[in-house]
Amino acid sequence: MNALSLMTLIFLGYIVAYFTYGKWLGSKIFQLNASKKVPSIEREDGIDYVPTKKSILFGHHFTSIAGTGPIVGPAIGVIWGWVPAVIWVFFGSIFMGAVHDFSALVISMRNEGKSISEITGIYINDRVKKMFFVIVFLSLLIVLAIFGLIIAIIFSKFPQSVLSVWVQIPIAMALGWRVFKKGGSLIIFTLISVILMYSTMILGQYIPLTLPSFLGIPSTGLWTILLLIYAYFASTLPVTTLLQPRDYINAWQLYISLGLILAGIVVSAFTQGLPMAAPAFQEHPAGAPSMWPFLFITIACGSISGFHCLVCSGTTSKQIKNESDAQFIGYGAMLLEGALATVIIIAVCAGLGLGYSNGGETLFGVDAWNSHYLSWQSSGGLGSKLNAVVIGCSNLLGTLGIPSSFGTVIIGVFIASFAGTTLDSATRVQRYIISEMVSDTRFKKLGSKWIATGIAVSTAALLAFSSGANGKGALALWPLFGAVNQLLGALALMVATLYLKTKGGKKYLVTGLPFLFMIFMTIWSVSLNQLWFYHSKQTLLFIMNLIISGLSLWMVVESILEFAKSPKT
């Protein structure tokens, strides 16, 4: 199938979904009311609770939920064929992912901006709330450690991107100061910021930055340390100082990069046809686990991701200015993420076919795709997955006359920046989680902004360096993350179902049916993983997986019992 036809069909489908199903959810299911006061106004403190313009908050929210998820996940999931990947991304994002995000945002917004973990205690019970906290903490712990490593890998593979990523920080802070503090024109200073940002990308080609080993610590370890130090300070500053403006300009970076890639797809389609080099279906790729159920935990962001509920109920619900903005931010951002995942699928399934170097030979079409995706092992490793995306996107940019060297910088900065915004937000959310966990204990002092953030960063550092100085310790738990993340999404849908049950009628079906699908798929995958961990004698993963699955099943049983009761009034 022609990639342009596929992209056009999918994008039109998302537009229709937003103005039909999304609008119906907002008006009929959640009954958004613009006159209701929201937490950002009721609890405004200038640090975490800040009423924010819809356009600015959309940028923060989207870049925080996206990260590298809709990039890495689809780049792996296409090994089963591009058709299953596209179907799951399209229908999953409309009827599951966007519903999940929208629900978490609205429910948190109507409960003082509390996290989904804290809200669990309101609609189920305190025991389930504590179990939810454990799963959330573990999930965020892995995210913090692994996203620091992802950025470190990008910096090591693409040193031309380093300068631009770091210079974005002062650019963003200057934008925040000029617009939020001094009331400058958002349009004018956005334009200036974007020009400066792309200027540093050009400069980065001539000034690639690398870190040598120091005191026995390799570059990946040093970058991980620097990134976690940065995350500590970034997540304790007021959101208007760095979080909002950096996410905002990163969103513009996405719009521009995405626009260039889309233009590349159009030009390639008209000049070269741009067929999908990947097979439509590949049920049993060499060395890969079965498509059912692993497709549904491999492709998470872009379809549905449990991490999103932490952002929705962690940072976004504290900044949304009006209930009526929730559809655009909660539902719309997820559809845009689905669109991004679709573009990535096209990049690795069609763009890769425009040229792929292997062993000094340049391959094209099906041969190029097969060279990279010959087996599960050949496409394995974070570096390999990111490399496929960078090459595929750079090939598409090349059809516009953009040199390969600069195209690589654009995509490298794009991926690293997205991972950085997720690192910022995840650290802040982990701080909220720690504060909520200790709020009802005698250790309340641990919940202070500085101490809780220190715990969040130090525990991530311990995990990152648990295997040595290279900072790759989180890879030991990485096989757990896909299932844990999707379990978290299922559990958030479970909470949303109980919330809607209290509203009467059959409203709960819009979250209840996705919950049943996701809990079935994730429990299935967790069970298969457990068998694999046992037979491969991976004791740590076996024990951790057993604990997580046990807590999840316990929570589901208690939730079903709660659901069976009469609705609360």
Instruction: Please give the share of the chain, as a percent, with pLDDT higher than 70.
Output: 98
1, 273 contact by CB (below 8 A): no
Tens digit of each residue's pLDDT (9 = 90 or more) over 434-478: 998 888 788 888 889 999 999 999 999 999 998 888 888 887 777
For residue 361, give the DSSP letter: E
Asked, for residue 569, whether it belongs to a domain, the answer is no
pLDDT of residue 569: 44
Does any domain span residue 310? yes
Q: What per-residue confidence (pLDDT) applies to 567?
A: 58
- Is residue 566's pLDDT more than 60? no
Is 90 exceeded by the pLDDT of residue 29? Answer: yes
Mean pLDDT across the chain: 89
Question: 178-185 long-range contacts, Cβ below 8 Å, gap at least 24?
Answer: 179/245, 180/240, 180/244, 180/245, 181/240
pLDDT in tens, 157-206: 889 889 999 999 999 999 989 887 788 888 899 999 999 999 999 898 88
pLDDT > 90? residue 113: yes
Tokens (6 digits) for 428: 């802040």
Q: Are 396 and 270 in contact (CB under 8 A)?
A: no
CA distance 398 to 455: 45
Burial string for 325-359 (b: 16+ CB within 10 Å, else e) reads: bbbbbbbbbbbbbbbbbbbbbbbbbbbbbbbbeee
Backbone angles phi, psi at 400, to 5 degrees: -95, 0
Confidence of residue 380 (pLDDT cuts 50, 70, 90): low
| Each residue's pLDDT tens digit, 504-533 | 889 999 999 999 999 999 999 999 999 999
DSSP-based helix, strand, coil % in the chain, nearest 5: 75, 0, 25
pLDDT at 61: 92
Residue 363 host element (H or E): strand 361-363
**3-class SS at 146?**
helix
Alpha helices in 207-242 (DSSP H): 219-236
Within-domain flag for 126: yes
* Within-domain flag for 422: yes
Judged against a pLDDT cut of 70, whether residue 133 lies above it is answered with: yes
Measured in whole angstroms, the distance separating CA 450 from the mean position of its chain's CA atoms is: 25
- Position 154 scores a pLDDT of 83
Give CA–CA dist 291/288, Å, rounded: 8
pLDDT in tens, 397-443: 999 999 888 888 888 888 888 788 888 888 998 998 899 888 878 88
CATH code of the domain covering residue 360: 1.20.1740.10
The structural domain count of the chain equals 1
| Side-chain-facing half-sphere of 515: CA atoms under 13 Å | 19
* Contact (CB, 8 A) for 245 and 179: yes
Q: Mean pLDDT, to the nearest integer, of 110-139? A: 90
Task: Give the domain range for residue 99.
Answer: 3-564
Question: Angle, to 10 degrees, between the axis of helix 186-206 and the axis of helix 162-176?
Answer: 160
Q: Per-residue pLDDT tens for 291-333?
A: 999 999 989 989 999 999 999 998 999 999 999 999 999 999 9
Q: What is the pTM of this model?
A: 0.91
Mean pLDDT across 39-47: 92
Whether residue 293 has a cis bond before it, omega within 30° of 0:
yes
The values of phi and psi at residue 128, to 5°, are: -65, -35
Cβ contacts of residue 45 below 8 Å, gap of 6+? none
- CA proximity to 107, closest of 565, 507, 500, 515: 500
CA gap 79, 280 in Å, rounded: 10
* pLDDT at 5 exceeding the cut of 80: yes
Task: Count CB atoms within 10 A of the CB of residue 183.
Answer: 8
Q: Cα(202)–Cα(191) distance, rounded to whole angstroms?
A: 17
Position 214 in a domain: yes
Task: Give 59-103 pLDDT, tens digit per residue.
Answer: 889 988 887 778 888 998 999 999 999 999 999 999 999 999 999
Instruction: Report the greatest alpha carbon distance in the chain.
Output: 69
Cβ–Cβ under 8 Å, residues 60 and 339? no
Q: Is the pLDDT of residue 247 over 90?
A: no
